[in-house]
Amino acid sequence: MIRFAPLVTKRLVRQPLRTLLTVVGVAVAMFLYCVVEATQAGVTRATAVVAGDSVLVVYRENRYCPFTSRLPQHYQPRIAQIPGVAHVVPMKILVSNCRASLDVVTFRGVPEQDFLETTLPDFEIVAGSAEAWSHRSDAALVGDALASRRGIKVGDRFSAAGITVYVAAIGRTDELQSRNAAYTHLAFLQEAAQRGGTGGVVTQFNVTVSDPERLDAIAQAIDAEFAADSEPTFTQPEKAFVGRAATDVVEIVGFARWLGWGALAAVFALVANAIVLAINERVREYAILETLGFTGATIAGLIVAEGALLGLLGGGAGAVGAFALLSLQTYSVSMEGVHVEVSAGPSLLLSGLVASIVLSVLAGAVPALRVARGDLAGAFRT
């Protein structure tokens, strides 16, 4: 079949408008499919609980948006004394928008010592320094995804959600929520949020446990400790907390998967339509090829190869376009202070190409089989 590649190419070139429309249609459908798959992969990365997860999030019971979750900071020593708790970090969270949005700024205020011991080691500082963060009360360490999305540089004054901070450092990390957040001093964020008040209130506690196998048991013990207090708590593993907060996003992405399947169906239909139209125009041509010694299998192979080439051109263009878009710019869907990042890897490009080629081969297989089994010699008489 490789020897007949020029013949297959010439057949497509002979019908430039049909070929162009088919390739463009396949490219658009495959672009949509790849974007949907990248979003689904982002949801999975953000919410899938894996072995070894050791962080619990203590939140105010029956509260969802960070604006409404208010817990006394003096809960910290009571949580720390619960058996199995290794470390407790009080955290004040302030977001620019609690609803689902593509551009949300999240401030995370943590005590300086906890930041230096537990948060900073997860970052690779790419600009600025941790010392600059420590020396200014209004300093912020900005995750690389947020910095890229907002065009933030070290030394900038950055404002959002009524808070103005000095960008002391920009850090790169694999931790999804940290990539899209700006870390500040806890006292500064408490005072700024209270507009000069005394603070002492946090949004949540991030609890690291010594044994990941006891996550659920320790979560129940924490909630039992504060069940009779005026501010009861609700404790979940971090990934489960993200999944609950991003429920609407997860449902939207689940519905979008139907669009992805629809895009694959469109690829199949577009290629099948182009192949059927081409066959109807070339019946006499196929009869001539048969009289020249081409077997039915060879003729069927030419038809299937034509469909595969259409799928390769269109699917390749769509997959490369989606990969380029998601690689050049970081996109994240945010809700209630948590982020679901949409990003592309080489596997996305490969899966898009494979899906388009396989569907195109299947789309051409049935009409090719019909031609191979038909009475081609009879075409001379019609």
Q: Domain-by-domain residue ranges, the chain?
A: 2-46+248-381, 62-231
> Considering Cα of 313, then 316, then 318, then 320, what sign does the dihedral take?
negative
How far apart, in whole angstroms, are the C-alpha atoms of residue 118 and residue 122? Answer: 8
**Token pair of 48 as six digits:** 């899938």
How far apart, in whole angstroms, are the C-alpha atoms of residue 146 and residue 341? Answer: 11
Query: Mean pLDDT lowest for which of 126-140, 200-214, 329-343?
Result: 329-343
Label the pairing between strands 181-185 and 331-335. Answer: unpaired
How far apart, in whole angstroms, are the C-alpha atoms of residue 5 and residue 308? Answer: 11
Cα angle at 159 between 153 and 160, to 5 degrees? 120
Q: Are 339 and 175 in contact (CB under 8 A)?
A: no
Exposed/middle/buried for 113, CB within 10 Å: 0-12, 13-18, 19+?
A: exposed
Q: Compute the average pLDDT of residues 312-322.
A: 90
For residue 243, what pLDDT is reported? Answer: 72
Q: How far is CA 260 from CA 38, 181, 267, 379, in A?
A: 11, 30, 11, 41
What's at 307, amino acid-wise?
G
Backbone angles phi and psi of 93, in degrees to 5 = -120, 135
Would you give the DSSP letter of residue 102? S
User: What would the pLDDT profile of 43-71 be if each residue is shown by its tens digit?
Assistant: 777 776 665 678 899 999 988 888 888 99
How far apart, in whole angstroms, are the C-alpha atoms of residue 90 and residue 28? Answer: 47
User: What would the pLDDT profile of 207-265 be if each residue is shown by its tens digit?
Assistant: 999 988 888 899 999 999 999 998 999 999 888 887 776 676 777 777 788 888 888 88
User: What would the pLDDT profile of 66-112 be if each residue is shown by its tens digit?
Assistant: 888 899 999 999 999 999 999 999 999 998 888 777 778 899 999 99
> Which pTM value belongs to this model?
0.76
Does the pLDDT value for residue 195 go beyond 80? no
Label the pairing between strands 55-60 and 181-185. Answer: unpaired
The DSSP element (H or E) to which 152 belongs, if any, is none
Does the pLDDT value for residue 34 go beyond 60? yes
Please name every residue paired with 299 in a beta bridge, in sequence order, or none if there are none: none
User: What would the pLDDT profile of 169-192 be if each residue is shown by its tens digit?
Assistant: 999 988 888 888 999 999 999 888
For residue 196, what pLDDT is reported? Answer: 46
What's at 294, amino acid-wise?
F
